[in-house]
Structure 1
Amino acid sequence: MKNLILPLIVFCFITTSQIEAQDLASAENTSTLNYKKRHAIYDYKEVRLNNTDTVPEFETKANKLKITGTIYQNDGKTPARDVILFIHQPDETGNYTLKKDALKKRYVYHRAWIKTDADGAYTFYTFIPGSIEHSNDFKQIHRSIKVPGKPEFNLDSYFFNDDPLIPNLSLSCRANFVKSMLKPEKVGDMYVAKMDIKLPKAAVEVNYK
């Protein structure tokens, strides 16, 4: 148990400090000259983005998952429009399926993007990921976000309330996990989870047209 708790504490510290540190990327990240190194959030075709997207192989997965919510500006009340939210995740066994595109860039296969409308709403159709057996990995779906006029940055991952590693966390660490923790409920043939997002202060200084 001691060997397990220490990695969890370290992981908690790193994860919950992501928003504060933000690790903002350079504007050069959007350059086509830097295509293979730029953040995967840019690897989409603008014309196809809307506020709903589906992860590849969704239809074949046993534990289908719908994640829905609203992205708000930092006041927690005003819907944030034209915001891109990108997710990628491991499969049911906790492994990441990697592929290469036509330009030989490697990417995680199970991924999706949305772009909010004026109401700030978003929906992903995906599946509940797994974690590698006997590892210290949490079940999680990674998130990155891009506000107009700002570099992209990483949000804390979506975590799951039934993850067996959660009880091993300290109370303070568990409280931070709750901020991005999904609580899926079975509705018909899929699980549904709601998660609103409030943009950090550094991301909201944007002049919308």
Structure 2
Amino acid sequence: MPKTIQAMKTQLGLGLAMLLSLTGYGQSRQVGGPCEGCEAIHESSVPFEKLDSFLKLPDATWAGKKPLGINGIVYKADGKTPAPGVVLYLYHTDQTGRYVANKDAKGWERRHGSLRGWLRTNEKGEYKVVTLRPAPYPGHTDPAHIHITVKEPGLPEYYIDEFVFADDPLLTPANRQKLENRGGSGILTLKDVGNMYKAERPIYLGRNIPNYPASR
């Protein structure tokens, strides 16, 4: 009888440990809340560890409209320590305001379009993107924007505030109030430097991100 009781206790202990493990996993997956399409960050054809900190999207050219360069530093949750090895996934509409995919598109490219790409911050936490400024949706109901998903080591991916443009007439006071400042402000102020436009955006990991671990 004592052996039977001990065996039951052992099984109960193992079951409890498994339940706690699953519960902890479930909580970690809730970092950032629901995020439709964030899994697209895993569709990179280049392994994360081999991604560059510079990304040039397919629409970037100096033959027509001036391209847009966005650069910045990704900081850890303390707001001051650069965060290396953070993967960023970006996508946006074309010059007609639509997400247009290549004919052979697969996975999330069919919805996000082919103007998308991946990068990984360097040892200084730096990143840089060159593209064309996207157009707003054909209905002109929302400001033009660039979507961005973050994947930092040890956490599931989550989205942060989209890149939007300070001079966009669609970025009304009402639309500004809707911004959550996830990862810090995504409002870009463009500077014309002659052959292109430039803007900066620092990104702060965990800032205004629901259920972000306090220990980070």
**Band of TM-score, shorter chain:** 0.7 to 0.9
Residues 79 and 141 of structure 1, relative CA distance in 2, 3 Å threshold: same
Residues 205 and 110 of structure 1, relative CA distance in 2, 3 Å threshold: farther
Q: Counterpart of 1:92 in structure 2: which amino acid?
A: Q
Q: Counterpart of 1:52 in structure 2: which amino acid?
A: F
Residues 53 and 97 of structure 1, relative CA distance in 2, 3 Å threshold: same
Structure 2 unaligned spans of 5+: 1-30
Contact 2:160–2:181 (Cα < 8 Å) also in 1: no
Kindly indicate which of the two structures has a greater share of residues assigned to strand.
Answer: 1
Residue aligning to 2:78: 75
Residue aligning to 1:40: 40
Residue aligning to 2:196: 190
Q: Give the TM-score, by structure 1 length.
A: 0.73
Structure 1 unaligned spans of 5+: 1-19, 26-36
Contact 2:38–2:149 (Cα < 8 Å) also in 1: no
Residue aligning to 2:34: 23
Question: Rg bigger for which structure?
Answer: 2
Q: Counterpart of 2:169 in structure 1: which amino acid?
A: P
Pair 1:160-2:160 in alignment: no
Residues 83 and 101 of structure 1, relative CA distance in 2, 3 Å threshold: farther
Aligned mates of 1:138, 1:41 — CA distance in 2? 23
Residues 132 and 61 of structure 1, relative CA distance in 2, 3 Å threshold: farther
C-alpha distance after superposition, 1:26-81 (max 9, x if no partner): xxxxxxxxxxx882111111164111111012115513100000000011100011
Aligned mates of 1:92, 1:53 — CA distance in 2? 19
1:130 to 128, 135, 138: 135
2:185 to 165, 179, 184: 179
The secondary structure found in structure 2 opposite 1:119 is coil
2:91 to 85, 88, 92: 88
1:56 to 55, 58, 66: 58
Q: Counterpart of 1:125 in structure 2: which amino acid?
A: V
Residues 24 and 163 of structure 1, relative CA distance in 2, 3 Å threshold: closer
Q: Give the TM-score, by structure 2 length.
A: 0.71
Identity over aligned pairs, percent = 31
The secondary structure found in structure 1 opposite 2:172 is helix
Aligned mates of 1:176, 1:38 — CA distance in 2? 18
State the Cα RMSD in Å.
3.0
Residues 116 and 205 of structure 1, relative CA distance in 2, 3 Å threshold: farther
Residues 186 and 171 of structure 1, relative CA distance in 2, 3 Å threshold: closer
Aligned mates of 2:187, 2:159 — CA distance in 1? 16
Contact 2:38–2:159 (Cα < 8 Å) also in 1: no
Aligned mates of 1:51, 1:100 — CA distance in 2? 28
Aligned mates of 1:164, 1:179 — CA distance in 2? 18
Measured after TM superposition, the shift of residue 134 of structure 1 is: 4.3
